Amino acid sequence: MSLWDVGVDLGATLAKAVAVPSGRPLEAFESFVAPAGDERLLDAFLLRHSLRHLAATGGGATALADRLGEGRPVTIVDEFAAWGAGEPLLTRRAGLELHSPHLLVSLGTGTSILRMGARGSVARVGGTALGGGTLRGLGRLLLGTDDHERLVALAAAGDRRRVDLLVGDLYRPGGIALMPDLTAANFGKAHEPRAVDVAHALLGLVGENVALLAGQIAVALATPSGGGPPRRRPDVLYAGSTLRNNPLLVEILGNVTALVGARASFLPFGEFTGALGALARARAGT
């Protein structure tokens, strides 16, 4: 009977898991996603594998260990340490080349911004309560749905310029040193808007503000202590479950990050960064 190593990231919205045959490289994983509250689906995934290592991270990690009991020991890994360990595995798998240090933005239910330094060091340098939880919560309140795929589909048919107040709505061309299509106020002209435009504006609300914060932090950290511009455009790597099948949000994040002077990249399978990193730490015995 083959043995498996499993890592689980239990967030507020989703449970993300990876499974790797023992002795195989961690990059050769199979993946699993389920709603965080559906314990039966996660248990079924775990039961399909004869476990050698089981590692967990995220807000629900301790509850999972308590539920499984002493019969199935769980290695609990700090969330930021797990993301720090998982990111280089996935960037290498994707062939991404990033300068060090750079920022890793975990865009899940909320958002954390991590500084990835040389030799695997990781530190949280910022964050915001805006994230996928904001999209789903406001979607439920304003559009009657919190389904991720439904909200993304609605947004694809919308135009947030019908809802957001733009610089060009306030100033004549040349009246201010800002581009006219920049957002001056999210939802600033939401007068009986279409549902599709509201959905697009929700993506703009989250994407613009996350990218502004991450990009500004990246530029500030890359600015020489004596002043002057950064020697190169700093890298911001976006990952997390909110980016799943969400090309409009990816586009907004990329455009705004570039606007503030940083370079955006997006991590394939980035929603599994924490689960994979937790497993990496368990294999290493830390």
Q: Which of 28-37, 72-81, 228-237 has the lowest mean pLDDT?
A: 228-237
Strands 75-76, 263-266: pairing kind? unpaired
Q: How confident is the model at residue 58 (pLDDT cuts 50, 70, 90)?
A: very high
Q: Give me the pLDDT at residue 37, please.
A: 86
Q: At what angle do helices 132-143 and 195-222 cross, to 10 degrees?
A: 160
Mean of pLDDT over the chain: 94
Please give the Cα distance from 162 to 186 (Å, whole number). 11
Chain centroid to Cα 216, Å, comes to: 17
Please compute the mean of the pLDDT values over residues 222-227 and round it to a whole number: 80
Please give the Cα distance from 90 to 69 (Å, whole number). 31
Please compute the mean of the pLDDT values over residues 175-198 and round it to a whole number: 92
Strands 183-185, 165-166: pairing kind? antiparallel
Spatial CB neighbours of 64, under 8 Å, sequence gap ≥ 6: 8, 10, 42, 56, 74
Nearest CA among 285, 278, 209, 271 for reference residue 238:
271
Domains identified in the chain and CATH numbers: 4-94+272-284 (3.30.420.40), 127-266 (3.30.420.40)
Sheet strands (E) in 108-207: 111-116, 122-128, 165-166, 183-185
Q: Give me the pLDDT at residue 286, please.
A: 60
Answer yes or no: are the C-beta atoms of 7 and 18 closer than 8 Å.
Answer: yes
Q: How confident is the model at residue 128 (pLDDT cuts 50, 70, 90)?
A: very high
Distances (CA, A) of 103 to 54, 124, 162, 221, 245: 28, 9, 33, 10, 22
Angle at 134 between CA 273 and CA 79, to 5 degrees: 30
Six token digits for residue 253: 């994040």
CA dihedral 184, 112, 132, 239 (to 10 degrees): 100
pTM: 0.94
